[in-house]
Amino acid sequence: MKIAITGHTTGIGKAIFDRYPDAIGFSRATGYDIDLYGHRVRIARESKDCDVFINNAYYDNAQIELLYELTKEFKGHIINISSNSADGIKKNKRRYPVYKAALDKASEQLFYKGFNVTNVRPGYVDTPRIKDVTETKMSPEYIADIVDWIIKQPHRVKDITVCPTINTTKGV
């Protein structure tokens, strides 16, 4: 199985990339910036023969733009790494959850148009991006397990939300 992934050098992307040693990785560290249109086109072109594309790297709406670029020629399974933070867009004035909510809607739209697109919506994951968050976190390897499970399913999976266990000793 041929897999491509964006944002493969840290966090969730690295855990997934490490799971599939023959995967193709795209990141700023390797000369691919999803924020640049030409790079998104290049990523899509270089991935078109892959079986699975993991749309993991985040940069505002670039993750959504890459998703749409992929649908032009890519025929395999696209797995978006979104976030359950999109559920709380009314609580904070931050762009991240708004863009993740837009990714959720774009993924849903494409799923119903017949594309094999899955949206993974994790809660807090122990990554450098949220190193200062003190809430309970899941490991990036656990999210890689979920992605692996999705890939192995015989039917399309529209979306999956997974959150860490609430620490009930803190009180609710």
In this predicted structure, what is the pLDDT of residue 167? Answer: 64
Give me the mean pLDDT over the 84-95 stretch: 73
Q: What proportion of the chain, given as a percentage, has pLDDT over 90?
A: 78
End-to-end Cα, the chain, rounded Å: 44
Region 95-104 average pLDDT = 92
| Residue 54 amino acid letter | I
Mean pLDDT confidence for 54-69: 97
Q: What pLDDT, on the 0 to 100 scale, is given for residue 28?
A: 95
Strands (E) located in the chain: 3-6, 24-26, 52-55, 77-81, 117-122, 159-162
Mean pLDDT of the chain: 92
The model's pTM is 0.92
Query: Do the bridges between strand 52-55 and strand 24-26 make them parallel or antiparallel, or are there none, so unpaired?
Result: unpaired
Dihedral sign, CA of 102, 108, 112, 114? positive
Residue 167: helix, strand or coil by DSSP?
coil
DSSP string covering 60-72: TBHHHHHHHHHHH
Overall size of the chain counted in residues: 172
Residues 118-165 pLDDT 10s: 999 999 898 888 788 888 899 999 999 999 999 999 999 999 999 988
Residue 148: HSE in the Cβ half-sphere, 13 Å Cα cutoff: 13
> How wide is the angle at C-alpha 8 spanned by C-alphas 77 and 138, nearest 5°?
85
Amino acid at 104: D
What CATH number is given for 3-170 in this structure?
3.40.50.720
**Cα 126 from Cα 128, distance rounded (Å):** 7
